[in-house]
Amino acid sequence: MKKVFLFLLVILPLTQLWAQEKKEDRNFRIPLIGEQAPAFSAQSTNGLINFPDDFGRSWKVLFAHPQDFTPVCSSELLELANHQTDFDKLGVKLVVLSADPLSTHKDWKKALEDLNYKNRGKMNIKFPLVDDERLVVSKQYGMIHSANNSTRDVRGVYIIDPDNVIQAIYFYPNTVGRSTEELLRAVTALQTAAKNKVMTPADWRAGNDVLVPFLPAADNRKAPADTKDVYSVSWFMTFKKLTE
């Protein structure tokens, strides 16, 4: 009896310690706007990726998927490939993440490159498809539910500036395809705002007038005087024409 008791005294604490070591931190929070983009290393269809360091002083877009060969995600990759030149002109590096293994990524990429989608002809997918089968990156970027390991909601998009700071985030459900044109518009707006120290109004497009940033005060409702390039539509909305 004493031997059994001593055995339990030794084994039970070790078992509890092992269980504690195995218990995973489930606080998979989404990194917020203004925070540094979480760094990771992973294999991809373009080789080993060290993100974001490998992409230097470029703007970056991390575009995540729950699974390869899904119809919505497949259409999104084809649209990204179709607009690759537009992203290149903006100096944007695309990185696509999927919660499937690298071997499946390679098959998916080959299948997509063999399609004649929307009669555009076959297209090469130049951006890397990152292997996140173990969900390491998905957890870093808050795309896994804290209660389970379902990949259903690995549908995030993160726009990251040259200082590797997250500037925009959005998620879509797996039933609704994401807009590549909106992604390009958002990156262009962010770059314009950062370069010119301005803001962009709703539905802004490149070439449109921008907003002058200021905090309206209730006790000072006088609009600034109009100039050649600056005009107000109200005391709380002043626009500026960009001359470049």
Query: Strand runs (DSSP E) across 87-164, as ranges?
Result: 92-98, 129-131, 156-160
In the structure encoding, which two tokens stand for residue 185, read together? 């518009």
Give the confidence band of 200 by pLDDT, cuts at 50, 70, 90: very high
Polymer length in residues for the chain: 244
Flag whether pLDDT at 21 surpasses 60: no
Report pLDDT for 148. Answer: 66
For the packed helices 71-82 and 180-196, what is the interaxial angle rounded to 10 degrees? 50
Strand arrangement, sheet containing 156-160: 47-51, 40-44, 129-131, 92-98, 59-65, 156-160, 166-171
Report pLDDT for 214. Answer: 77
Report pLDDT for 153. Answer: 73
Name the catalytic one among 37, 49, 62, 73.
Answer: 73
Instruction: Provide the H-helix boundaries in 49-198.
Output: 71-82, 84-89, 102-113, 136-140, 180-196
Flag whether pLDDT at 215 surpasses 80: no
Flag whether pLDDT at 20 surpasses 90: no
Kindly list the domain boundaries of the chain, sorted by start residue: 40-178, 197-244
Report pLDDT for 25. Answer: 66
Residue 142 among the catalytic residues: no
Q: Which helix (H) or strand (E) holds 209?
A: none
The mean pLDDT of 138-161, rounded to a whole number, is 86
Per-residue pLDDT tens digits for 88-127 = 999 999 999 999 999 999 999 999 999 999 999 999 999 9
The predicted model scores a pTM of 0.86
Please tell me the CATH code under which domain 40-178 is placed: 3.40.30.10
Give the confidence band of 17 by pLDDT, cuts at 50, 70, 90: very low
Instruction: Provide the H-helix boundaries in 125-218.
Output: 136-140, 180-196
Per-residue pLDDT tens digits for 48-98 = 999 999 999 999 999 999 999 999 999 999 999 999 999 999 999 999 999
The mean pLDDT of 25-41, rounded to a whole number, is 91
